[in-house]
Amino acid sequence: MAQVPGFIKGLGITFGTMMRTFKNGSNTVQYPHEKEAPPIRARGVIALHQDNCTSCMLCSRSCPDWCIYIEAHKELAPPRREGGKPRQVNLLDRFDIDYALCMYCGICVEVCPFDALFWSPEYEYSEPNITDMLHDKTKLSEWMETVPEAPALEVGADKKKK
Amino acid sequence: MTILNDPVSAKLGNRQQLSYIASQAADARLNVELETEGMTLNIGPQHPATHGTLRIIARLDGEQVVWAEPSCGYMHRGYEKLTEVRTFPQVTSLINRIDWLGSFANEVPFILAAEKLMNVEAPPRAQWIRTILFELSRIANVSLFLGDLGVQMGAITPVFLAFRDREYVLNLIESATGGRFHPNFDRIGGLKDDLPAGWIDETKVVMKKLRNFCDEIETLLFGNEIFQSRTRGIGVIPRDVALQYGLSGANLRASGVDWDLRRDQTIPLAYDKVDFKVWTHPDGDSFARCWIRLQETREATKIVDQLLDGIPSGPVMAKVPKIIKVPEGEAWVSTENPLGEMGYYVVSRGDLGPFRVKIRSASFNNISITPWLLRGVYVPDIITILASLYFILGDIDR
């Protein structure tokens, strides 16, 4: 039997793919109408838990392109126990992340010693104006609602949290 | 004509160069009457076939290239200098961007060099996961090459298949690391986090799909007569020339040199725990280079499958101080990246960041052969040869 030409075999592959697409539906989704859920760990946007932030500036200093701006002032808070001395707390005046500069490396979330920064897989916050990409602390706090629980780990993982 | 006096090309009996010489001799009579004028053709910096901003300056004689030179640097981002003003943890987020299609593979040699200086070794579980992600980034990188290859020669279908199946791999990388293209998952002393639950089973399913994709591409593209006639015997790199120009990776193995850093060196990655075949091809032409990459993708899926079965349990992070100061010293580590040998020479003076980093990226050395290779080829073959050499512009210009 004569050999089947290679391009005929190739057309067979294309035909098979077409039939599979008819049967199982296409791999793409029509974006604004349908959405694919990003994975839990996806680095979409950084959320800020304001109460945990002590304005220690670690995130701002370790950011590779310096896109976190923090300003704070000190205030006296009532003592924890009765009769104690009033505590000194840092209050955030400004906590801005410039998403036009951010390169989503996640170093700020990692270095934060007080668990004030979290990743959220939310991604729909593009703006027509580049200055609007600067998210202030109220907007960053709003992202907190979208932060998911950390996923369970694979078998054999060390249970101990870092 | 310089080519006639060139002892290398005369000795090699290279088919394209011989055909050029023959055509020169045949045209000699014609040229007396029809004086042809040379022409300089600029391919790029913006050209659909260069995937990036590489400029090829080609001096043409009719349809044939007399002289060609790549002109790179249009996308130079100065990574070697940038790393000097960053701390060690920050560097990985930058060097992700060198070879943007296989970014996890960029992090590994740098981290290994830093670990070598600090005398830290990642725990076995971290090493295995590193190797798996390394191979996944190779698959993501090379599967795009296999699809893109068809587009350069006018075949549209393979690129859709490639993007379809590459998406599965990118989803895997994203669900484990958080970033599709820029994982930034490697840390000095281990990994940022462990794998999420269910990842191993998912990966096994995807690897099956990828092997199916390789079969499809093999029938669709490599079995196609047009593809074969466009690539066989075109752009032949003989073994000794490939070695002289310092090629690495699939380009070198396609010329018959059996050299693979995954097998030939001992580095703290899990490659010594798995069996895999290093494919070589004796021809050294464009077809051989493409074919080697196809086989490597298959081999990578097998490596991942073997590694998934035996991930040891334990922590993924060794004990390292919170503020990383790398002791004084110099270290060189190179690995077999999707594009070839990629290495980092890290000089530390005991500071938070490196004092100097020399990046050896594969594409920069691989395109250095283009002046030799493009001499005497026809204009349409320039695209085929450049496509089969497979470079990534970020990897050339850094």
Residues in B touching A38 (Cβ below 8 Å):
174
Residues in B touching A62 (Cβ below 8 Å):
87, 89-90
Token pair 């609007």 is at which residue?
A132
pLDDT in tens, B284-340: 888 888 889 999 899 899 899 888 888 888 888 888 887 888 888 888 988 888 888
The CA distance from A81 to the nearest CA of chain B, in Å, is 33
Instruction: Tell me if chain A has a CB within 8 Å of the CB of B188.
Output: no
Cross-chain residue pair A27–B164, CB shorter than 8 Å: yes
Report pLDDT for B317. 84
Report pLDDT for B17. 63
Nearest alpha carbon to residue B166 among B151, B184, B148, B185: B148
- For residues B40 and B270, give the distance between their C-alpha atoms in angstroms, rounded to a whole number: 50
Interface test with A, best of B77, B90, B98 (most A CBs within 10 A): B90
Cross-chain residue pair A7–B225, CB shorter than 8 Å: yes
Interface test with A, best of B195, B201, B320 (most A CBs within 10 A): B195
Instruction: Tell me if chain A has a CB within 8 Å of the CB of B231.
Output: no
Q: Report the 10 Å Cβ neighbour count for B110.
A: 27
- For residue A2, pLDDT over 70 is answered with no
Length of chain A: 162
Instruction: Tell me if chain A has a CB within 8 Å of the CB of B209.
Output: no
Q: How confident is the model at residue A162 (pLDDT cuts 50, 70, 90)?
A: very low
- Longest CA–CA span in chain A (Å) reads 100
Report pLDDT for B24. 64
Report pLDDT for A89. 79
Report pLDDT for B50. 59
Cross-chain residue pair B224–A152, CB shorter than 8 Å: no
Report pLDDT for B384. 85
Instruction: Tell me if chain A has a CB within 8 Å of the CB of B175.
Output: yes
Cross-chain residue pair A7–B197, CB shorter than 8 Å: no
Interface test with B, best of A3, A8, A11, A13 (most B CBs within 10 A): A13
- For residues B142 and B296, give the distance between their C-alpha atoms in angstroms, rounded to a whole number: 8
- For residues B296 and B257, give the distance between their C-alpha atoms in angstroms, rounded to a whole number: 15
Segment of A6-10, A79-83, B327-331 carrying the highest mean pLDDT:
B327-331
Report pLDDT for B5. 47
Q: For residue B100, what are the contacts with CB-CB under 8 A and spacing of at least 6?
A: B181, B182, B392, B394
CA angle B337, B340, B344 (to 5 degrees): 65
Is beta strand A45-48 parallel, antiparallel or unpaired with respect to A87-98? unpaired
Burial of B255 (0-12, 13-18, 19+ CB in 10 A): buried
Query: Of A105-119, A131-145, A148-162, B75-89, which range is least confident?
Result: A148-162
Decide: B43 and B59 in contact? Cβ < 8 Å.
no
Instruction: Name the stretches of chain B with pLDDT < 50.
Output: 1-12
Cross-chain residue pair A158–B316, CB shorter than 8 Å: yes
Q: How far is CA B355 from the centre of its chain?
A: 27
Cross-chain residue pair A158–B314, CB shorter than 8 Å: yes
- For residues B360 and B79, give the distance between their C-alpha atoms in angstroms, rounded to a whole number: 12
Residues in A touching B86 (Cβ below 8 Å):
64
Nearest alpha carbon to residue B247 among B379, B51, B390, B376: B390
pLDDT in tens, B239-256: 888 888 888 888 888 888
Of the candidates B93, B157, B220, the beta carbon closest to that of A105 is on B93
Per domain, the residue ranges of chain B are: 79-363
- For residue A59, pLDDT over 80 is answered with yes
Within 89-148 of A, beta carbons closer than 8 Å to B belong to 103-107, 110, 119
Decide: B389 and B364 in contact? Cβ < 8 Å.
no
Q: For residue B382, what are the contacts with CB-CB under 8 A and spacing of at least 6?
A: B43, B56, B58, B65, B68, B374
B79-363: CATH number:
1.10.645.10
Helices B124-152 & B199-217 angle (0-180, nearest 10)? 30
- For residues B14 and B20, give the distance between their C-alpha atoms in angstroms, rounded to a whole number: 10
Q: How confident is the model at residue A159 (pLDDT cuts 50, 70, 90)?
A: low
Report pLDDT for B3. 44
Is beta strand B64-71 parallel, antiparallel or unpaired with respect to B39-43? unpaired
- The helix/strand/coil state of B210 is helix
Report pLDDT for B48. 61
Residues in A touching B312 (Cβ below 8 Å):
156
- Chain A residue whose CA is closest to B191: A162
Residues in B touching A9 (Cβ below 8 Å):
219-220, 223
